[in-house]
Amino acid sequence: ENSSRTMAKAVRVAIAGATGAVGVEFLRCLEQRNFPVASLKLLASARSVGKPFQFRGETLKVEELTDDSFKDVDIALFSAGGAQSKRFAPSAVKANCVVVDNSSFYRMHPDVPLVVPEVNPQAVHAHKGIIANPNCSTIIMNVPVWPIHQVAPVTERIIVSTYQAASGAGAAAMYELEQQARDWSAGKPLEAKIFPRPLLFNLFSHNSKMSEETGSNEEEVKMIKETAKIFGTEDIGISATCVRVPVLRAHCESINLTLSKPLSEADLRAVLAKAPGLTIMDDRKANRFPEPNDASGKDNVLVGRIRADPSQPAGIGYNLFVSGDQLLKGAALNAVQIAELLLR
């Protein structure tokens, strides 16, 4: 069984969806973190076959993703979309390869661990061949909230409002926003093909599917359901509002917490200062707090605007504002960290 197999010191890796925004970041993370790669296979659709990428001084060419791609692979990092994960992940598992899947397809499956390494690393070892990478917004919220939850459980309530970058919709969405900026500068009309309307100088409710019955979109539902699974409890009340903003690659979130027992602001700050995967950026004097430009390209989630909620009893309510790179901690970095857990 995959989960009981001990990985060799250097492992054979495949990236499915290698040409996408997250796929490119997989490559960078593996290189920058000195991941022990014995061999690396880049997989994508037929139209990308032969496209060259650099890895550790070598040129690697993209191969077509097929059922036979995983015969000589130990770990496959998937970010090719839910349909491709559904189609090809079972073939990888049959070939005794462990899949770390960035799509939403397997996240809520009861036999598939959903893992944020700073929160529930132990869940990795219960896998049956597939481990799911959570939604980017979920990860970026969970990293700062979990350490607080350990000291003063947040089981009362979390209210989160997101400010989500174009990168969450892929490389084409990032290009679309850049092109809109160029067209606006040239006095040309703005075109929108990836998003329903131009994102430049605008923002809109997250472009995932909306429930006419509940009024919630899929992104909001993901944040609620995934957090409960990762934290290992259904006893958290979460209200989420997800919004797309004209930023390239880092998400921001405003998080309001209601704790189950009082915690002083000094103690809360101390908890965040010691927590893995976080950098405090909270300069009231200079009015400098987490921003997408600061978080872009950074591994850690930035946290600031740490302050008491005056509408709640002392020590019970707090506000945070966070920013995290959607392509890194929100996707590729988290998946590579999961792969690192498999090596232990």
Nearest to residue 104, comparing CAs of 209, 196, 260, 8? 209
Q: Which of 136, 206, 242, 252 is catalytic?
A: 136
Q: What is the C-alpha separation between 187 and 142, in angstroms, rounded? A: 42
The secondary structure element, H or E, covering residue 254 is: strand 250-258
Taking a C-beta distance cutoff of 8 angstroms, is the pair 336, 76 a contact?
no
Taking a C-beta distance cutoff of 8 angstroms, is the pair 120, 230 a contact?
yes
Label residue 182 exposed, middle or buried (CB < 10 Å: 0-12, 13-18, 19+): exposed
Helices (H), the chain: 21-32, 82-94, 136-151, 171-185, 218-231, 265-274, 292-295, 333-343
Instruction: Judge whether 149 counts as a catalytic residue.
Output: no
CA-CA-CA-CA torsion for 294, 166, 121, 262, nearest 10 degrees? 60
Instruction: Judge whether 251 counts as a catalytic residue.
Output: yes
Q: What is the C-alpha separation between 105 and 27, in angstroms, rounded? A: 22
Sequence-distant (6+) residues with CB within 8 A of 117 are: 277, 334, 337, 338, 340, 341
Taking a C-beta distance cutoff of 8 angstroms, is the pair 216, 207 a contact?
no
Angle, CA 174 vertex, CA 203 and CA 186 arms, to 5°: 80
Q: So which residues are the catalytic ones?
A: 136, 251
